[in-house]
Structure 1
Amino acid sequence: MRDKSNVIGKNRITGGFLLGALGVLAFSLSLPLTRLAVAELNPWFVAFGRAAVAGTLALGYLWITGWQRLNRAQVKRLLLVGLGVVVGFPLFTSLALTVQTASHGAVVIAVLPAATAVWAVLRAGERPTRRFWLSSGAGLLAVLVFVATAGGLSGGFEVADLLLLAAVVLCGLGYAEGGALARDLGGARTICWALVVSLPLTLPATVLAALPIVPGAVSWQAWASFGYVSMVSMFLGFFAWYAGLARGGVARVGQVQLAQPVLGLGWAALLLGEEIGVFTAGMAVLVLLCVVLTQRSRAITPSVRVDRPSPQVAQRF
């Protein structure tokens, strides 16, 4: 990790923020579509299968853009990224959503931005300001009040809640580690390498989980949902997300996730039939305002390396 730092202006909505917002928009469909997929497909297949499909796509991307030699430290960090976002979050959310609703899941993942910020301090060497923490805390509180009032809280603490909390902790680690590593490898290569180094686990696990599945007995909606979480949630969405974290700071851009539960409940209304009223729209505006405040706070962030194809790319074309 580089020691040189850049000071991000407090009055700018940066490219890192816009890339992060694009990533969150892609991720906001993950819980509702995972819920649809696990209603008919084995949750183990959904969790590992999405990673195996994305890993295959990642192999193709790295072949086209050129392989990059990794050192031992980078491989170790990629394993942490894989543990968090390739295996941990998909597996635990898939298992939890077999017995819980997407809106209930939104309650728990509302703490993901805070978890990401804590991991950013521990793993990415960032130093958010007091104003940042106040804005982040206000956004977290707004999200929790929103989902609770909107019916996301069903009462009681169940095994599914433990699974979702484990998913949040591991995902925060994967986001922070990947965002920091993306400063050196670039956002696209970070997720691609994390998917590739995870293939020795995800590929055989997918084959085993797929054995009992009869493809013709599964609806097209379930297969389409599985396709989305494989190609967008697990692959393309991370291109923008890790690039945004690297450029704008893990803790700071990570707060864009505060909008994800609100967006997720909106998608749940469209796809799962949940009712969203005027109060929802008002709270969404409040949450997005908190996101903007975190982006206007001053933060110290290590310097960024922008994604560039390797010299071999020109030779291949």
Structure 2
Amino acid sequence: MDRRLALGLLLGFVAVVMFGATLPLTRFALHDFSPWFISFGRAALAGFAALGLVLVMRRPWPFGQRAVLWRLAVSSGCLIFVFPLAIGVATQTVPAAHGGIVLGLLPLCTAIAAMLLAGERPGLGLFAASAVGAGLVVAFALRNGAGGALGMGDSLLFLGVIACAIGYAVSGGLARTMSGWEVIAFMLILCLPVTLPLALLTFPWGGAGTVAGASWAALLYLGLFSQLIGFFFWNAGLAMGGIARVGQMQLLQTFVTVGLAWPINGEVPDAETVAFAAGVALVVAVAQRTRSRPH
């Protein structure tokens, strides 16, 4: 494995660890906030942080380039609006561990999106590994709190998967020509005129004084790490290692999520977690040994 790919995978893994806390902390923050404020509030918070960073770094604004602006708009719609709202509303009715369904399907959907939208040509071996990994993770999720009849929460989670895969493919393609941190920063800045008013509109003005400090801390994490800093690592990893290949690291995100859902949400994982995690880790290792077909 060459050094560039290895570094891309490492950056992707760091991002996966950061993203793994998103579902548990979203469910925790729902104790005091609506899913609408969580989604818009975290985006507005991240937008202000991104604006400050861009101004300090004196980076040129890319909005005058029509092709870049279009891709920023598409990826923003998927990753800043649709995905956070989908999981925020879904986790009102399903456990955080249930989000393993989303996480289990993301790598396969990301590989497909990379092929359709980013010009990548993943080999059949990578698709096969993605399918096997998705099957393992979905089976794990169904055995650990995701059982029962499928409902609206599942539909929203699936919508989130599709949106997230598209957003990853489009933003990962942009990261080939821009720094990974710039991609997410300008996405957030582009959305700030929308997210800030919506955050103020959905802010719990009447009960702000009774909101627990832990809920504010959860929102702070969702804004700074889930919505901003995690993407510094993720976009850079996608650009260096390939969207489809680095996307396989998302298979491990389910186990980060389930592991964190225990202390954060009190959702004790099944004893089979270690065995499933070992199986998924093996699938990820096999996926990294497969070859992608040339463009």
If the TM-score is normalised by the length of the shorter chain, which range does it land in? over 0.9
How far 1:64 moved relative to its partner? 1.6
1:270 to 263, 267, 274: 263
Partner residue, 2:70: 76
In structure 1, stretches of 5+ residues that fail to align are 1-8, 303-317
Secondary structure of residue in 2 paired with 1:274: coil
Aligned length: 293
One-letter amino acid of the counterpart of residue 243, structure 1: A
For residues 135 and 108 of structure 2, what CA distance do their matches in structure 1 show?
11
Secondary structure of residue in 2 paired with 1:126: coil
How far 1:237 moved relative to its partner? 0.4
Secondary structure of residue in 1 paired with 2:176: helix
Partner residue, 2:48: 56
How far 1:277 moved relative to its partner? 4.4
How far 1:39 moved relative to its partner? 2.0
Partner residue, 1:313: none
Partner residue, 1:243: 236
One-letter amino acid of the counterpart of residue 102, structure 1: A
For residues 273 and 55 of structure 1, what CA distance do their matches in structure 2 show?
31
Q: Which whole-Å deviations, capped at 9, do the CAs of 1:83-123 have from their partners, x for residues lacking one?
A: 11111111111111122211122223321111111110111
Residues 27 and 265 in structure 2, CA contact (< 8 A), matched pair in contact too? no
Closer, same or farther: CA 15–300 of 1 in aligned 2, 3 Å: farther
Structure 2 length normalisation: TM-score?
A: 0.95
For residues 278 and 3 of structure 2, what CA distance do their matches in structure 1 show?
20
Residues 95 and 145 in structure 2, CA contact (< 8 A), matched pair in contact too? no
Partner residue, 2:176: 183
How far 1:301 moved relative to its partner? 7.4
How far 1:16 moved relative to its partner? 0.5
For residues 140 and 121 of structure 2, what CA distance do their matches in structure 1 show?
29
Q: Which whole-Å deviations, capped at 9, do the CAs of 1:34-72 have from their partners, x for residues lacking one?
A: 000112102111000100000001101111222224211
Closer, same or farther: CA 291–192 of 1 in aligned 2, 3 Å: same
Residues 248 and 301 in structure 1, CA contact (< 8 A), matched pair in contact too? no
In structure 2, stretches of 5+ residues that fail to align are none
For residues 301 and 32 of structure 1, what CA distance do their matches in structure 2 show?
39
- 1:289 and 2:292 correspond: no
How far 1:10 moved relative to its partner? 8.1
2:23 to 5, 13, 31: 31
Counterparts in 2 of 1:206-245, with a 5 A limit? Answer: 206-245=199-238
One-letter amino acid of the counterpart of residue 107, structure 1: I
Secondary structure of residue in 2 paired with 1:264: helix
Identity percentage of aligned residues: 38
Partner residue, 1:198: 191
For residues 109 and 181 of structure 2, what CA distance do their matches in structure 1 show?
23
How far 1:13 moved relative to its partner? 5.8
Partner residue, 1:305: none
Between Structure 1 and Structure 2, which shows a larger proportion of helix residues?
2
Residues 72 and 183 in structure 2, CA contact (< 8 A), matched pair in contact too? yes
Partner residue, 1:5: none
Secondary structure of residue in 1 paired with 2:70: helix
Q: Which whole-Å deviations, capped at 9, do the CAs of 1:165-201 have from their partners, x for residues lacking one?
A: 1111111111110001000111000000111111121
For residues 244 and 30 of structure 2, what CA distance do their matches in structure 1 show?
32
- 1:94 and 2:81 correspond: no
How far 1:253 moved relative to its partner? 0.4
Residues 12 and 296 in structure 1, CA contact (< 8 A), matched pair in contact too? no
Partner residue, 1:117: 111
For residues 197 and 4 of structure 2, what CA distance do their matches in structure 1 show?
46
Residues 103 and 250 in structure 2, CA contact (< 8 A), matched pair in contact too? no
Residues 137 and 280 in structure 2, CA contact (< 8 A), matched pair in contact too? yes
